[in-house]
Amino acid sequence: MAEIDVRRKEARFSNILQAAFDGFLIVNGQGKIIETNEEYCRMSGYTREELFQMTINDMEATMDDEEIVRRIELIKKHGRASFESEHIKKDGTHYPVEVRIMTSDVDGFTMVSFLKDITEEKKIIKELTIAKEEAETTCREKT
């Protein structure tokens, strides 16, 4: 009976993660991807099998290997982190992501991450900034 309960809970959590609107990754202490959901596959263009052969270093567009090691050490120290970064899609294009990470010691040290593609948010902010600057310029020219 206990084994059935465990399987039900695993299935429930798997369904929740697959239904999430954000990408999901579990990464080990060396940065290797050990779990993901379909949303992250869609965002990145990689299959699950391809992602399981990759590390954070393969997808990170803004940090070099040393910076990634430092970031992992800080996450280990604090147990969580939230930041923006850029990831590299399978086709080579970059896209901005909001990353939220918590550490876990359930199966050895891992980092549980939710990633949101913030391309549209960045585009809207840029358009608003341009519109504001144009309005300010027009206002100055009238006075």
CA 31, 111, 97, 125 torsion-angle sign: negative
What is the pLDDT tens value at each position of the chain, 143 positions in all? 777 777 777 777 776 767 678 999 999 988 999 999 999 999 999 999 999 999 999 999 999 999 999 999 999 999 999 999 999 999 999 999 999 999 998 778 999 999 999 999 999 999 999 999 988 888 888 87
- Residue 42: predicted pLDDT: 95
114 touches 22 (CB < 8 A): yes
- Residue 19: predicted pLDDT: 66
CA 12, 18, 20, 24 torsion-angle sign: positive
- Residue 118: predicted pLDDT: 96
> Distance between alpha carbon 52 and the CA centroid of its chain, in Å?
15
* Ordered DSSP codes for 17-70: HHH-SSEEEEEETTSBEEEE-HHHHHHH---HHHHTT-BHHHHBSS--HHHHHH
